[in-house]
Chains A and B, each alone.
Chain A
Amino acid sequence: MTAIGAHLPILVVLVPLIGALLAALCRRGWQGLSIAAIACAADVLFGIWMLQEVRATGQPLSYVMGGWAAPWGIEYRVDVLNAFIVVFVSAIGAVAMSFAGPSVTSEIDEDRQAWFYSMFLLCLAGLLGIAVTGDAFNIFVFLEISSLATYVLIAMGRDRRALLAAYQYLIVGTIGATFYVIGIGLLYLATGTLNLADMASRLGPVVAEDVRPVMAALAFVTVGISLKLALFPLHSWLPNAYAYAPSVATAFLAGTATKVAIYLLLRFFFAVFDPSLDFVSLPVDDILIIASVAAMFLASFSAVFETNAKRMLAYSSVGQVGYITLGIALANQDALTGAIVHLFNHAIMKTALFLALGAIFYRIGSVRIADLAGIGKKMPLTFAAFVIAGLGIIGVPGTAGFISKWYLAIGALESGNWLLVFLIVVSSAIAVAYIGRVIEAAWLREPSELAAKATEAPAAMLVPIWILAIATVYFGIDTRASADIAAEAARMLLRVVQ
């Protein structure tokens, strides 16, 4: 047991990495799928194991690569926050894989299916690597691994516009990574270290001497990561990427990719830089609040007028990211709890929505809202799950989305900013309009030509969709496994600050 236990932080990355290699060697889709499913399931277990350990001991797990001690060698460092990220990212991966079989078979050519799973695993390895590593340059490496895999995943979409979307993301993603690496370069020049914990402890004296290079580094890192997490107005790559990628890839990326980027932002803002620097010398919090509120409103409005349901949900994601970054900018216990728990809650709900759309696409070959008319009658179970997850996005009480917004609203009041409370609730009301449009079309309208021929989704698809739909309600009522952990992570981040 302990032989494995001691190596958990690296195993989390190695298992999908090796899985990716194995899957690439496979001929058939189902072989790749089996490897991917096993790797995801193993990572969920590793994640839960680590999470329990760090919660029990209250100390981060430290793993030194190749036996080279921390500041010189690469250190993997797992605390409550990133253990939580590992658990839900690999759990979303596992759910996506249990859905993938029929969907991938119908959307991707037979000879490329194993490749698809290989790329999926590579992406997962990259995302989890970003989460567990405690080394700034290692983060860059994993950022590139996950990004390159993502470009391929998007480009595998049947629609030829997927190629353009992948290319668009490639350019934006490369700019983002470059900004990040410039920022890291400046920090390395200033501190002489790449280990995040070491860097944090050395920044104090450096800042006292000359604040400008560090501020420049902060600016580069913030913009670089903001591109990856699709912070408004740096979100232009996201709607097309989500809309034209294969259904499974969209569902997985929507739940995980931006979330891991947000984790990075949290890590840099609270554990590397000091908020006295990022929120005082350079008013990152004000900028972040403005960008977040703009995302909550403008992206949500774009969602209302979108005719393609996948793009609509993509814009909704940009808006939802706004809530998370808002919580980060407010930087108090409750707001930060709201931000972290919304990483998790939004991942569940949005993945459920995209999987439900994936099941509909599997049956009717379209996700245009006009074509969804009357689908509620033909696929009642799929559609009911869509409604539940949609209510979660709106933030109806009794769903996970409500819990996030409650913490955010309390956090806004704590910071004395009651206007933000109203901005939060008014922008959630916009979600009523875009989710309501789909519900109205799917349920109250006469079936479209495509929908008339549809039948209920296969059980293999319904089960993962419903797992997430039930989770949406469960985590709206019992928050011990979500908000309590998020609160613990928030406390940890704020303690680092003090």
Chain B
Amino acid sequence: MSGWWGPEMLLLAALLAPLAAAVLIPFLGSVPNLREAVTLLAAALLAVFVWSLLPHVLAGERPEWTLTQALPGIAIAFRVEPLGMLFALVAGSLWFVNSVYSIGYMRANNEPRQTSYYAFFAIAIAATIALAFAKNLLTLFIFYEALTLSTFPLVTHKRSPEAISGGRIYLSLLIGTSMVLLLPAIVWTGFLAGTLDFAAGGILAGKAGDGMLAVLLALYVFGIGKAALMPFHFWLPAAMVAPTPVSALLHAVAVVKAGVFAVLKVIVYVFGIGTLAESGAGEWLAWAAGFTVIAASLVALRQTNLKKRLAYSTVSQLSYVVLAAAILMPISAVGAAMHIAAHAVAKITLFFAAGSIYTASHKTEIGELDGIGWRMPWTMGAFGIGALAMIGVPPTAGFLGKWFMLQGGVATANWLAVAVIVVSTILNASYFLPIVWRAFLAEPADGDGKGGHKHGEAPFAVVAPLVFTAAMTLVLFFWPDVPFALAQLMLKG
């Protein structure tokens, strides 16, 4: 496989495929079928490219490509390492599924401005892939901001007053935290370490005192607002005003995972797990993450709007990853990586289901879902599987991540982390199971069958993707080899 179609070409092709779609789509506004074909083709190509990269990475290759030297000693450069590979696989594969869903959803709901919708969606995916493959902090930061900016038009897609105010919160919180906290952290790191390249074992060992490490870590984890650590999580519920496919892929997978991915990258490749564990600078992080896990679950419990409840569940689940990283054990870092993949397929299923319900019945509130399971058996069946994965029940993928995290927690006698995982599992169950219960076992409300809106399943293009991702949630439990192998390789760099 050497020669011109080597792994470097694959890397470049993966970066360019969504970008090419973004360039073409605006010219095809008058031919919707061709426009959607471009999206699907780019998504399929991207999936092929990232999956073709996988054997190279598993074989120990680390394809690299440098765009240019932007600052002294700091290039805009890409390098495929195992964790980035895992994230790119998740985002790249789900883009195709989500595109099928988008087409079904946007057409069935007669959404306006679809051309700009698909164009910005493609830009957001391009930014996600570039972020996943970033070789250094500068490149990561560039595409982190590009991801925020390209998703802003998607969040404000409806252009209602609610969308505009949601967009304001979204932009000001994400740009604000990244500029005010993350950027100084990066500048400071560059100043201390003399490099911004990610490296196994970190680049800050011996370069900073314990106190400074703790401050830097705080700047990073709060500055990466996309990880939605409280109190900087408000942007995520605000983003729920977007069309549901956006919430599904971007605000359950690409954007939020970019956040925890960046946190994980920083802890593993900038600080180094060993350096952090020795200095004790990361102890507070387990508390902050644990607090977010529990508090967000409690808030989720009180949400009556389905998408809002899912959003708070995401806030809580994201902090699992941060918590797992904060345990600072290799095994728990593996758990964190596994959870990135598992939560992605499960949460996208839940959002797909929420969008499917909206498309079929225009219902958005949990209280309206009584008995809907019998009208929409595929949708609600998939929702049930997704819910089980959130709780962490086998045989769903959600179980695996939690299992490794618990192992890490027990091994380090970090009883705080163990308690948080146990309590939150109970909370997860208590806000997800009632929905499934209502859907299948509660009597439909009066008038729903007669005067109300009579409906069955959503269109095929909406239902097929969610069945597929639900199936993936199960498949990942039985065959976790790929994410597991990548997670273990991550620790070697």
Interface of A toward B, CB cutoff 8 Å:
391, 394-398, 403, 406-407, 409-410, 413-414, 418, 421-422, 425-426, 428-429, 432-433, 436, 440, 443-444, 476-479, 483, 487
Contacts and interface: CB of A to CB of B under 8 A. Distances in A.
A477 B184 contact: no
Contacts of A487: 72
Contacts of A432: 171-172, 175-176, 179
Interface stretch (B90-98, B140-148, B442-450): B140-148
19 contacts: A391-B149, A394-B175, A394-B179, A397-B138, A403-B70, A407-B71, A413-B188, A418-B184, A422-B184, A425-B180, A429-B175, A440-B168, A443-B153, A444-B156, A444-B167, A477-B68, A479-B69, A479-B71, A483-B71
B71 A413 contact: no
A421 B146 CA distance: 22
Nearest to B157: A444
A395 to B, nearest CB: 7
A426 B180 contact: yes
A410 B180 contact: no
A153 B138 CA distance: 43
Interface centre among A414, A429, A433, A483 (most CB of B within 10 A): A429
A435 to B, nearest CB: 11
A413 B68 contact: no
A394 B183 CA distance: 13
B176 A429 contact: yes
A413 B142 CA distance: 21
B70 A478 contact: yes
A403 B138 CA distance: 11
A414 B187 CA distance: 11
Contacts of B187: 406, 409-410, 413, 421
A406 B184 contact: no
Contacts of B180: 422, 425-426, 429
Nearest to A487: B72
Interface string B67-104: 11111100010000000000000000000000000000
Contact of A477 (B67, B145, B164): B67
A403 B142 CA distance: 12
A112 to B, nearest CB: 41
Contacts of A406: 71, 187
Contacts of B175: 394, 429, 432
A394 B191 CA distance: 22
A443 B155 CA distance: 13
Contact of A444 (B72, B142, B164, B176): B164
B188 A421 contact: yes
Contact of A428 (B67, B70, B179, B188): B179
Contacts of B164: 440, 444
Contacts of B493: none
B70 A476 contact: yes
Nearest to B139: A397
B68 A478 contact: yes
Ranked nearest first, the 6 interchain pairs of A and B with the lowest CB-CB distance are: A397-B142, A409-B187, A398-B142, A413-B191, A429-B179, A421-B184
Majority SS at the chain B contact face: helix
A425 B71 contact: no
Contacts of B163: 444
B191 A398 contact: no
A438 B351 CA distance: 33
Contact of B145 (A397, A410, A422): A397
A478 to B, nearest CB: 5
Given A413-B191, A422-B184, 20 more contacts: A394-B179, A395-B179, A396-B149, A397-B142, A397-B145, A407-B71, A410-B187, A410-B190, A421-B187, A421-B188, A425-B183, A426-B180, A428-B179, A429-B180, A432-B176, A436-B168, A436-B171, A440-B164, A440-B167, A478-B68
A396 B70 contact: no
B362 interface: no
B159 interface: yes
A436 B153 CA distance: 12
A344 to B, nearest CB: 15
Contacts of A418: 184, 188
Contacts of B141: 397
Interface in B22-76: 67-72, 76
Interface in B150-176: 153, 156, 159, 163-164, 167-168, 171-172, 175-176
A398 B71 CA distance: 11
Contact of A479 (B70, B142, B168, B171): B70
Interface-central residue, B146, B175, B183, by most chain A CB under 10 Å: B183
A425 B167 contact: no
Contacts of A436: 168, 171-172
B159 A444 contact: yes
A429 B145 CA distance: 13
Contacts of B172: 432-433, 436
Contacts of B188: 413, 418, 421
Contacts of B153: 443
Which of A396, A410, A422 gathers most chain B CB within 10 Å? A396
B195 to A, nearest CB: 13
Nearest to A334: B72
B122 to A, nearest CB: 16
A323 B153 CA distance: 30
A398 B145 CA distance: 9
A406 B141 CA distance: 12
Contacts of B70: 403, 476-479
Contacts of A440: 164, 167-168
Contacts of B176: 429, 432
B222 to A, nearest CB: 13
A410 B183 contact: no
A373 to B, nearest CB: 12
Contacts of B72: 487
Contacts of B67: 477
B184 to A, nearest CB: 5
B340 to A, nearest CB: 24
Contacts of A394: 175, 179
Contacts of B167: 440, 444
Contacts of A398: 142, 145-146
